Amino acid sequence: MREGDRNIDEARQGEAISVDTLAFAEDNNSVVQKKLYLESYGCAMNFSDSEIIASIMNNVGYTTTKDPQEADLILVNTCSIREKAEERVRNRLNEFKRYKKKNRQLVVGMLGCMAERLKESLLEQEMLVDLVVGPDAYRDLPSLVERVNGGQKAVNVLLSREETYAEISPIRLDSAGVTAFVSIMRGCDNMCSFCVVPFTRGRERSRDPESIVAEAKDLFEKGYREVTLLGQNVDSFKWNLDIKGKVKNPDLPVVRFAELLEMVAEVNPNLRVRFSTSHPKDMVDDVMHAMSRHENLCKYIHLPVQSGSSAMLKRMNRGYTREWYLNRISAIKEILPGCELSTDIITGFCGETQEEHDDTMTLLKEVGFIMAYNFKYSERPKTLAERKFEDDVPEEVKAARLSEVILHQRQYASELTKKMVGKVYRVLVEGPSKKSDEKYFGRTTHNIVMIFDKGDLKPCDYVNVRALACTTVTLLGEVTTDQADA
C-alpha cells in the first residue's frame, strides 16, 4: 500500500487490500474457531462491505487471517467497474487453486459486484468457486457457507430495495484506528450509460440517519478521529421521503444529505467528516453551506465530471452539462473559499472526438483539481452504452488521451502543492511514514498528505504543521505552535 493512501483513494485505484487484523470484539467460545481470509477489490463501498462481512462471519465463529494458506474460507469481494478489475480477480483465483489442492475442505467464495454481474455462471467459469454472493445477500453468508460445507455449491444474488445492514456493527479492518468508512446508502438509480454499478448494486436506498450517527459516535468513543460517509451518490441521500419527494411520516424529521452532514459533524468537533461520492447534478448549495458552518466537515470535495463536453455528457447520461458543472464549481469556490477539489475522468468513451477531448482538457485547466482519477473507457456488458453506442475510439487514442490528462494533472497538482509550502495546516496524525521510522504521516482538511517528525505525537492527535517542502502531491513539514492557515 502506498503511504497515506489507506483511504478512499486506494480503493478507487482498484488495488486489493487483505484483512490484517485479528482484533475481534467477540470471543465465540461456544463455536469452533475457523479462519477467514477476505480480500477486497474496487471502491470504498466494497471495503466497507467487507467490514460488514467480517462481522457477520465473526458471529458464527470465523476470525480473519492474513494468510490465505491457513484459511478454511476464502472470500473475494470483487469489482466489475472495468474489464481489468475482473481480470485481476480471475488471475487471483488461479493463485488460490494451489491452496485448494493442499486443503480439499477449503471453501472459496466470490462476493460483490462481479458475483452479482455473473451470478451462477461463475460456478461454471471458475471451477474453484463454491459460493457466489451478491452485495445485498451477505446476511445469508453463514447458511450458504454451511450448505457448501455440506457438499453443495451455493448462490444468492438477490438484490434488495431495503437492505442497508444498518444495525450490523462492522469489524474495522483498518487496524490503525484513526479513520473509518461509514456506509450511508446503497445502490444507484442514475444509469450513467458507461456504468455497471446500477446492475451490480441495485436500486438506491438510504440508511436510517440515527444508525449512521450512532456508528459515528461509537467510532469517536473508540478513538477514531475521521469518518468518510460513503454512497455512490451521497447528494441524493434522503430519509423519510419517497421517490417523488413526498414526506412519508409527518411525525418524523426529513433528513437530506446536508442535514445528515450536520448531524454527523455535531457528534464531536474533533471528529473529521469526509464523504464520497458527490454527483454534480444533485449537489445543492445547502451541502456547501453545511460545510462552511462546521470546521470538521473537511474542505475537500470529490466531484466526478467524467468529460468536459456537454455532448459527451449527454451520451454518458450524466444529467448535467459542462456549464452546469462549472456553475457547481463556482458555487463551491464562492461558499467554501479554499476548498480543494478532485474528479474522475473517462477518456475515449464512445464517439469521443478530438474536440470533445479538448473540452475535457480545458475544463481541467479551468477548474484546477488537486487530484484526478483517470480511466480509459472500458465497455461493460448490459450497460446503456454497450447496447446503444459503438466502443469506437481506438485503444491507442484512448491511451494517448489518458496520458495527456495524467500529464496535465501531475503538473497542475505539483504547482498547487508548491503554493502550499510556507503555510501552516491542521493535520490529523494517521500513522508512521513508510519511508522513515522517525516520521508520521497525516492529512490536511484538503486530504493532502503531510509528513513530519514523530516527536511525542501519536496517531489520532491533531497537530499544526508548517509545510516546508513538497513532492508532487505530498507536503513535508515541521510541527509548529503557530496558528493554522487551514
Please report, as ranges, the residues that interact with ligand SF4 according to CB under 6 A. Answer: 188, 190-192, 195, 197-198, 232-233, 279
The DSSP string of 330-392 is HHHHHHSTT-EEEEEEEES-TT--HHHHHHHHHHHHHH--SEEEEEE----TTSHHHHHS---
What is the closest distance, in whole angstroms, from the C-beta atom of residue 372 to ligand SF4 in the complex? 15
In whole angstroms, the minimum distance from the beta carbon of 60 to ligand SF4 comes to 32
Residue 82 contact partner, candidates ligand F3S, ligand SAH, ligand SF4, none, CB within 5 to 8 A by sort of partner? ligand SAH
Residue 354 identity:
Q
Cα–Cα distance, 334 to 339 (Å, whole number): 10
| Chain residues that interact with ligand F3S, rule: CB under 6 A | 42-43, 45-46, 79-81, 112-113, 196-197, 200-201
* 55 is a contact residue toward ligand SAH (CB under 6 A): no
Tell me if 274 contacts ligand SAH by CB under 6 A.
no
Nearest residue (CB) to ligand SAH, 62 versus 194? 194
* In the complex, least distance from residue 15 CB atom to ligand F3S, rounded to whole angstroms: 12
Distance CA 79, CA 115 (A): 9
Residue 198: name its binding partner from ligand SAH, ligand F3S, ligand SF4, none (Cβ under 5 to 8 Å by kind): ligand SF4
Peptide bond preceding 445: is omega within 30 degrees of 0, i.e. cis? no
Residue (10 or 266) nearer to ligand SAH, CB: 10
Question: Which stretch in 20-28, 92-100, 259-267, 373-381 sits in contact with ligand SAH by CB under 6 A?
Answer: 373-381
For ligand SAH, the binding residue among 304, 308, 442, 477 (CB under 6 A) is 304
Q: How far is the CB of 201 from ligand F3S (least distance, A)?
A: 5
Nearer to ligand SAH, 77 or 233 (CB): 233
* Range list of β-strands (E), 167-309: 179-183, 185-186, 205-206, 226-230, 238-239, 255-256, 272-276, 300-302
Place of cell 480503493: 11
Nearer to ligand F3S, 113 or 154 (CB): 113
Judged by DSSP in three states, 432 sits in strand
Closest CA to 307 of 193, 422, 207: 193
d(CA 277, CA 111): 22
The Cα 219–Cα 221 span in angstroms is 5
The reply on whether position 377 binds ligand SAH by CB under 6 A is yes
**DSSP assignment string, 209-242:** HHHHHHHHHHHHHTT--EEEEE-TTGGG-EESB-
Kindly give, in sequence order, each residue whose CB lies less than 8 Å from that of residue 38, ignoring residues fewer than 6 positions away: 18, 19, 50, 53, 54, 64, 74, 75, 77, 173
Minimum CB–partner distance for residue 76 and ligand SF4 (Å): 21
Q: Which is nearer to ligand SF4, 44 or 57 (CB)?
A: 44
Q: Is 333 exposed, middle or buried (0-12, 13-18, 19+ CB in 10 A)?
A: middle
Interface mask toward ligand SAH for 320-349; x: CB under 6 A? ------------------------x-x---
Binding of ligand SAH by 82 (CB under 6 A): yes
Least distance to ligand SAH from the beta carbon of 236, Å?
Answer: 11
The least CB distance from residue 244 to ligand SF4, in Å, is 20
Minimum CB separation of residue 54 from ligand SAH in Å reads 23
Decide whether 177 or 231 has the Cβ nearer to ligand SAH.
231
The C-alpha torsion from 124 through 127 and 129 to 134, rounded to 10°, is -20
Residue 86 — φ and ψ, nearest 5°? -70, -40
Q: Which residues of this protein are in contact with ligand SAH, per CB under 6 A? A: 43, 81-82, 194-195, 197, 232-233, 277, 279, 304, 306, 344, 346, 375, 377-378, 380
